Structure 1
Amino acid sequence: MIKRALISVSDKTGIVDLAKELSSIGVEIISTGGTHKALSDAGINVINISDVTGFPECLDGRVKTLHPKVHGGLLAMRSNPEHMKQIKELGIDPIDMVIINLYPFKQTILKGHVELEEAIENIDIGGPTMLRAAAKNYQDVVVIVDPQDYQMVIDELKSSKEISVKTKFKLASKVFEHTSHYDTLIAKYLRDKVGEEEFPQTLSLTFEKVQDMRYGENPHQKAVFYKEIGANIGCISSAKQLHGKEMSYNNINDANGALDLLKEFDEPSVVAVKHANPCGVASADNIYDAYVKTYEADPVSIFGGIIAANREIDEKTAQEINKIFVEIVIAPSYTEEALKILTQKKNIRVLQLDNISAKLPAGTYDMKKVAGGLLVQSYNNELLNVDELQFVTDKKPTKEELESLIFAMKVVKHTKSNGITLAKGKQSLGVGPGQTNRIMAAKIAIEYAGERAKGAVMASDAFFPFPDCVEAAAAAGITAIIHPGGSVNDQQSIDACNKYGIAMVMSGKRHFKH
């Protein structure tokens, strides 16, 4: 039977109603500080924690529950006669229920521009200690950390007059998830403040659920979407859905890839992505022209894909988008007329993402889960250094060709390896993604570009050690090539370029994407 409950909460949602229910069935309630006042003001009979411990709160409230009369009451095993004998001799009464949520550390650090001292003062000590003690002794103590569980506990008490061991165990498990999450937030915050060790010896990560999904990559796989804690500026996890069906696992993955590529551009640009690979990319003086050029780049693959724009979508652009079937449109904003047009289609997902072009902050991890482990690397925030480009052939690229080469490198950087991109001006013409070798990728890109390949440029995510790609480029009329270089066989591709009158530039920067 539950005879005594200790309540100490920062989030007071629903706590008065719960305390009234407990009081009505004869449960003695102990409380602290602000919670004690809130319950007393509601007319509930409450015992102050200091009256239990015989010791006043001190050190500005830092010490109030760290006392044997609290923890002895939580940790004493009722089935152990020696435990019960000891607490009786020590004048300790059992505590049968603990209802606690912790100092708002997360809310504090997310306010922005928070001084370290304020963050430190919002690290709860007594709360986690009581939670862990109660959860460890779950057979005898009901421990509640989530206001969402209040009603479940009330209902079970009303129907059974007690809480089952199964429910107690479930609640205890939730406690350790909660305290782990809480401690991980603190550890990350302090690790970032230290700022010395990029990859610590042990890495604790924590995420919060955004949504359950109908299924994962395939219908037989279960899936859920979690987000990192923080502002997540310019990230898919911060996007606001304005219209359409719920986002799927593949939608989120593809949209993330589209945003990564979009961040490469400062001028008005549109990116079309299909199956996590770019299928059309263009920059222009305005977003309408950028979209038209993106569509022209690959009108077949863009069908059923994702459109991401780094400027507001206007009525004219929305009308063009609505002529085809796309899964998602994502942009920083929409005019009222554009939104009316796009939402005419029931299933299209329309997303708004403020600060869509925001670069990911230094220290952002790129992570890939493998069976039994986690691969972690720094985010690929670089493209190339123009001052370090090597112009290795007799023919040098024109200013226009160099601009196209850099544009093509931005696209191929976000194309699955081995990848090849053809471009002219600031428009992609053909993308060859994810092939086992570069010549296959080159042939795919060239074949798709067709006659448009003549006068275009080619970018590769990896080096050209042999002349085969150059020969294919020459046959298609390509005038300039950029690739990382660095192979002992580079001279063969250089010689081939000189033979066919193609300009070759080596960037010194590889961009594998697997």
Structure 2
Amino acid sequence: MSVTVKSIATPDRVPLTRALISVSDKTGIADFARTLAARGVELVSTGGTRAAIAAAGVPVIDVSDITGFPEIMDGRVKTLHPKVHGGLLAVRADPEHAEALTTHGIPVFDLLVIDLYPFEETVAKGGERQAIIETIDIGGPAMIRAAAKNHAYLSVVVDPADYGAVLTELDGHGGATTARFRRALAAKAFSRTAAYDAAIARWATDAVAAETEAAAEAEPTAPRWVSFGGTLVQAMRYGENPHQAAAFYRSAPARAGVATARQVQGKALSYNNLNDTDAAYELVAEFDPAASAAVAIIKHANPCGVARGADLAEAYRKALACDPVSAFGGIVALNRTLDAAAAALVTEIFTEVIIAPDATAEAIEIVAAKKNLRLLLAGGLPDPRAAGLVAKTLAGGLLVQSRDNAVIDDLDLKVVTKRAPTEAELADLKFSWRIVKHVKSNAIVYAKGGATVGIGAGQMSRVDSARIAAWKAADAAKAAGLADSPTRGSVVASDAFFPFADGLLAAVEAGATAVIQPGGSMRDAEVIATADAHGLAMVFTGVRHFRH
């Protein structure tokens, strides 16, 4: 496919004489249109937008009067017409384009004001498939791309927040727009259509993936193209470090969590706050709130204490006991509505963020006493079984994979030792496996009585993780005045197999009595024999939980 390129000078300032307006979100459009009309700008509009502008007493031309063709097919076809796209795409300094405009009676537009059908919102609300399909905009993206491509001659506005900027630009340049202003609007317009198309592609791809999984097809296919997009939620002061720029974007479809949360109080969240809060909430969501209360305390994206309890207050006390030193300045996530008792306990030490599905009025009042403490109410818990894609950037590329949605309740556990775990050990093994999924590899978690008692994270050697977890548990016990380490009589979870028996022996030395791990090592027989020799019960999951 060849492209004709002509060298034609483009203007800096373009007077605004005619605008095409077509928006789903009518917020502020009547006032904006009235101000444009008062400046002598001719307004052309479509369907409901034209009706809204006319109802405000503003003169407006129906686009059908220009095209000579009515809207058809329930509005699916209304702006896909040469007299619309010709008026957007014409290079006015090109004699051939100018002649075509005259020959076919095509009016040019200096401004396009437009948004897109609410596809992302419809998906987020759980709309039916056909309702979602009907919100896939066709004419809107086509017009946006046409106007943005031709930004040498016209401005394209895709965000109501920019109405004021357009008027300020006109005020500052005698009713005209500058090339720099038009370029900035075009860049934003291209970003909007890219994010919109990314949302549609993700929805369609996820639907196919779900159908593939339901059909038990063996080999899921990687799409030829992949895209990710989002809408700005918050520009941040900096990223992980002060010299890095950062921003937070909401993507579609949305899962309950930090992206859906309402911040009730506290100062602005930082990049690290959001990253850690997401890690905490994803972890605590592993626990069904109908079965038990659960609390997770996170520091630098790793848990430093997780526990279940009859209520949130009990769960918090147990979680805090695991590593109270690291919990200082941490993130606290809860799987139930934050109540006054739990709020009182959490606010006893310095905490950066609390996130929960909801909070009582009493709890909100208690947290309010700590004015810098952020309280986020997410409105629900993320589904740990949810499918979807996650991505990580590389130099010049992306690594994309499906979300780790393996849940212990769905796994076929296999006892591989002579001794099977007791009922209490099995409950703690399942508990610890929910936690180890969310600990950076190499990961080791000791647990007892529905609470973590030692966590080893992010070590190059699995045996080091086992030793660090035991060492931190011993320190916590000493600080609490306990006679012995809580790892005595605990169970241990390992996110991946033990490649040698040394990691298991470190857990034996710490006092663990039962082990849960994926299995699959060439030395499984040696590790199992070591467990048998020390009277341990060992369970294989067949599933690994590496987390990098």
TM-aligned CA distance change 1:186 to 1:329, over 3 Å? closer
Matches for 1:140-179 after TM superposition, within 5 Å? 140-161=153-174, 162-179=176-193
Are 2:449 and 1:415 equivalent residues in the alignment?
Answer: no
**Partner residue in 1 for 2:496:** 462
Distance in 2, Cα, partners of 1:64 & 1:334: 48
Deviation of residue 192 (structure 1)? 4.3
Identify the residue that residue 103 of structure 1 maps to in structure 2. Answer: 117
1:23 partner SS: helix
Q: Distance in 1 between the 2:75 and 2:506 partners?
A: 75
> Of the candidates 268, 275, 278, which is equivalent to residue 246 of structure 1?
268
The 1:82–1:262 alpha-carbon spacing in structure 2 relative to 1, beyond 3 Å, is: same
Among residues 65, 86, 91, which one is paired with 2:105 in the alignment? 91
Q: Is the CA contact (8 Å cut-off) linking 2:387 and 2:405 kept in structure 1?
A: no
Q: Cα 1:38–1:288, aligned 2, differ >3 Å: closer, same or farther? A: closer
1:368 offset after TM fit, Å? Answer: 1.9
Deviates more, 1:193-202 or 1:157-166: 193-202
Match of 2:93 in 1: 79
CA drift of 1:302 comes to: 1.2
Partner residue of 1:47 out of 40, 61, 65: 61
1:112-261 pair list within 5 angstroms = 112-116=126-130, 118-161=131-174, 162-194=176-208, 195-196=211-212, 199-233=222-256, 235-261=257-283
In the alignment, what sits opposite 1:348? 373
Match of 2:363 among 333, 338, 346: 338
State the secondary structure of the residue aligned to 1:151: helix
**2:519–2:542: 8 Å Cα contact kept in structure 1?**
yes
- What runs of 5+ residues in structure 2 fail to find an aligned partner? 1-14, 213-219, 475-484
CA contact (8 A) 1:385 1:507 kept: no
CA 108–268 in structure 1, closer or farther in 2 if over 3 Å, else same: closer
| Alignment of structure 1 residues 279-428 onto 2, 5 Å | 279-356=304-381, 358-360=382-384, 362-384=386-408, 388-428=412-452
Contact 2:19/2:44 (<8 A) preserved: yes
Aligned CA distance change for structure 1 residues 422 and 163 (closer, same or farther; 3 Å): same
Question: Does the 8 Å contact 1:422/1:429 carry over to 2?
Answer: yes
Q: For residue 366 of structure 1, what is the amino acid of its counterpart?
A: V
Query: How big is the shift at 1:427?
Result: 1.5
Cα 1:90/1:351, change in 2 over 3 Å? closer
Choose from 533, 544, 547 the match for 1:499: 533
User: Secondary structure at 1:504's aligned position in 2?
Assistant: strand
- What is the rounded CA distance, in whole Å, between the counterparts of 1:40 and 1:505 in structure 2? 71
In the alignment, residue 393 of structure 1 is paired with which amino acid?
A: T
Once residues 477 and 257 of structure 1 are traced to their aligned partners in structure 2, the CA distance between those partners, rounded to angstroms, is: 29
Q: Percent identity?
A: 48
Stretch of structure 1 that moved more, 408-417 or 462-471: 462-471
**Corresponding residue SS for 1:453:** coil
Q: Distance in 1 between matches of 2:501 and 2:67?
A: 83
- In 1, are the aligned partners of 2:496 and 2:545 still within 8 Å (CA)? yes
**Residues 320 and 34 (structure 1 numbering): CA distance in 2 closer, same or farther, change over 3 Å?**
closer
CA contact (8 A) 1:463 1:483 kept: yes
- Equivalent residue of 1:210, what SS? strand
Q: Point out the more displaced range, 378-387 or 240-249.
A: 378-387
Q: 1:198: Cα distance to partner?
A: 5.9
Distance in 2 of aligned mates of 1:344 and 1:99? 45
- Secondary structure, counterpart of 2:326 in structure 1: coil
- Residue 479 of structure 2 corresponds to none
1:462 counterpart SS class: coil
1:133-165 deviations in whole A, cap 9, x for unaligned? 222222222322222222222222233221111
| Aligned-pair CA distance for 1:347 | 1.5
What does the per-residue CA deviation read over 1:452-502, in whole Å, with 9 as the maximum and x for residues that have no partner? 222222221121232222333333332222222211212222232233333
**Displacement of 1:385:** 6.4
Hey, what's the Cα distance between the residues in 2 that align with 1:387 and 1:408? 14
Aligned to 1:431: 455
Distance verdict in 2 for CA 1:85–1:341, change over 3 Å: closer
Taking a change above 3 Å as real, the CA distance of residues 126 and 279 of structure 1, as seen in their structure-2 partners, is closer
Other-structure match for 2:468: 444
Aligned counterparts of 1:81 and 1:339: Cα–Cα separation in 2: 67
The letter for the 2-side match of 1:348 is L
**RMSD between superposed Cα atoms in Å:** 2.4
1:243, 1:221 → 2: CA distance?
26
Contact in 2 for aligned 1:420/1:433 (Cα 8 Å) = yes
Moved more, 499-508 or 343-352: 499-508
Q: Look up the equivalent residue of 1:309 and give its one-letter code.
A: L
Task: Tell me how far apart the structure 1 counterparts of residues 367 and 517 of structure 2 sit (CA, whole Å).
Answer: 39
Q: Structure 2 vs 1, CA of residues 106 and 308 (structure 1 numbering), >3 Å: closer, same or farther? A: closer
How far apart are 1:244 and its partner, in Å?
1.4
From the superposition, tell whether residues 489 and 348 of structure 1 become closer, same or farther in structure 2 (CA, over 3 Å). same
1:437: Cα distance to partner? 0.8
What secondary structure does 2:333 align onto?
strand
- Size of the aligned set, in residue pairs, is 511
Partner of 1:183: helix, strand, or coil?
A: helix
Shift of 1:14: 2.6
Structure 1 residue aligned with 2:3: none
Distance 1:320 1:151, change over 3 A: closer
Q: Report if the CA contact (8 A) 2:43-2:60 is conserved.
A: yes
Q: Which moved more, 1:240-249 or 1:184-193?
A: 184-193
Q: 1:344 to 1:393 in 2, by over 3 A?
A: same
